[in-house]
Amino acid sequence: MFSIDCFARKQRAASPSLFYSAVALALCAAAWLPCLAAAATAAPVKIGFSMSETGGLSAGGKAALVALQIWKDDVNGRGGLLGRPVELVFYDDQSSPALVPGIYNKLLDVDKVDFVISAYGTGQIAPAMPIVMQHRALFMALFGTGVNDEFHYDRYFQIVPSGKETALAPSRGFLETAMTMTPKPRTVAITGADGEYSQNALRGAREVIARLGLELVYDRTYPLNTVEYGPIMHSIQAVKPDVVFVASYPQDSVGMVRAASEAGLTTGMFGGGMIGLAFTSIKQRLGPLLNGVVALDVYVPEPTMKFPGIEDFLRRYQERAAQSGVDPLGYYLPPYAYAEMQILEQSIAATAAFDPARLAAYIHATRFSTIVGDVKFADNGEWEKSRLLFVQYQGVNGHEVDQFRQPGRQVILYPPEFKSGNLIYPFAAAQP
């Protein structure tokens, strides 16, 4: 009977060199075939999250989603994570915190994702925490304030550059900048929405005000469903504060800026932790009304903020944004959404593991290089050192978007190492 062994003996006798070459080739192929097969059939690394694609937070949510998709394409172009392609699994939370727990239960229990990251904002992060903690999952969070102050979760890492004392960050730079005015301010009015972010920021503002020895002459909150801000601003105007600090969400930030203009607010400095003013759609809507406002931010195109890779990322983001109809500039959330994924990618590559305990330990111990600069986390999962910016809008003319691409329209006042211009005060002096 003819057999392979018989065939091999004949081939060996006929041409020994050809026989041994064929054997070597066969052995190499046998060694590589399992690797090639594994690469071809590798299960994707699934990264799950909720995202506010509709509702009040959708301007930020949709922009952040574009950044995450850019990262996914980039990492897959580099061969994925440890040779496995990345897949994003996400659901619209409609900007409703009530929907968040159900989404994360589905992601972790039904979709069986490998990692979870958060939607944008404190109110969307906090409801996910109990579910994430129950599963002992690693949790990369996008722009929360003080969330881990309550939970003390050792696998939580938050990318907004607030610093370890998160509740103080939305007010400290603002109030320290106010203290540079001559004469120094003596009285402060604070107000904000009755929501989780605003409450955290106002709590921090009271502490900073006490530290600086200032007198608090107005301290009130307003309901989240407020639509008329004129009465609030008139009440503030009546106590004649030297400084007005506001902790607000996007729509009430718009309402407060309009109300300040309509009331002819007379104060030394106005602004604060006003979420939303960094969104291009809101800049465009308010236009010259922004002049003089001092607000928190995380990135503006000033010459002091040229981090490696940031301009290339923004170019690619803006190309996609033009096609997707989202925030055309993408300065606020997108760079940080991309950076948090850079941190996850670098950690997986360095540890050669997907284990959340090993990754959390590595992230706690490591300084990361990202498109938003170097990032080092403190023991509570916040940035070790605050780098939250406070910018003043100056010389804004009309409602054209392109003016915000230029330096000098959003002048950095704080922190000192990124300062790009000087405060114009009192508030009315910067008005057109």
pLDDT tens for each residue of 229-286: 999 999 999 999 999 999 999 999 999 999 999 999 999 999 999 999 999 999 999 9
Going by DSSP bridges, is the β-strand pair 115-120/139-142 parallel, antiparallel, or unpaired?
Answer: parallel
Going by pLDDT thresholds of 50, 70 and 90, the confidence category of residue 431 is confident
Dihedral pair phi/psi, residue 301, rounded to 5°: -80, 55
pLDDT tens for each residue of 111-135: 999 999 999 999 999 999 999 999 9
Q: How many CB atoms lie within 10 A of CB 184?
A: 13
| pTM of the model as a whole | 0.85
- Nearest one of 329, 422, 1, 387 to 173, comparing CA atoms: 387
Using a pLDDT cut of 70, give the percent of the chain over it.
91
3-state secondary structure of 70: helix
What is the reported pLDDT for 41? 62
CA distance 326 to 91: 18
* CB contact at 8 A, 417 and 202: no
What is the reported pLDDT for 146? 85
CA distance 57 to 143: 12
Asked whether residue 13 is domain-assigned, the answer is: no
Residues 174 and 295 in one domain: yes
Residues 322 and 364 in one domain: yes
What is the reported pLDDT for 29? 44
Positive or negative, the CA dihedral 298, 188, 419, 402 is positive
pLDDT tens for each residue of 33-83: 444 344 446 899 999 999 999 998 898 999 999 999 999 999 999 999 999
pLDDT tens for each residue of 292-310: 999 999 999 999 999 999 9
Helices 334-351 & 58-77 angle (0-180, nearest 10):
40
Asked whether residue 421 is domain-assigned, the answer is: yes
Residues 297 and 408 in one domain: yes
Residue labelled with tokens 């052995």: 27
Residues 372 and 269 in one domain: no
Residues 281 and 220 in one domain: yes
CATH assignment of the domain containing 325: 3.40.50.2300
338 pLDDT exceeds 70?
yes
What is the reported pLDDT for 369? 98
Residues 152 and 66 in one domain: yes
Non-local CB neighbours of 214 within 8 Å, separated by 6+ positions: 175, 185, 186, 187, 188, 243
Going by DSSP bridges, is the β-strand pair 215-222/243-248 parallel, antiparallel, or unpaired?
Answer: unpaired
Residues 175 and 277 in one domain: yes
Report the domain count for the chain. 2
More confident site: 16 or 90: 90
Residues 94 and 110 in one domain: yes
Residues 395 and 247 in one domain: yes
Residue labelled with tokens 């192929």: 29
What is the reported pLDDT for 88? 98
Degrees (nearest 5) of the Cα angle 331, 406, 162?
A: 35
What is the reported pLDDT for 9? 43
Residues 300 and 412 in one domain: yes
Helices 250-263 & 230-238 angle (0-180, nearest 10):
50
421 pLDDT exceeds 80?
yes
In 234-354, the DSSP E strands lie at 243-248, 269-274, 294-297
pLDDT tens for each residue of 367-416: 999 999 999 999 999 999 999 999 999 999 999 999 999 999 999 999 99
Domain holding 124, by residue range, is 45-164+307-376
Measured between alpha carbons, how far is residue 406 from residues 278, 300, 395, 402, 409 in Å?
Answer: 14, 9, 11, 7, 7
pLDDT-wise least confident of 27-31, 134-138, 324-328, 370-374: 27-31
Residues 271 and 403 in one domain: yes
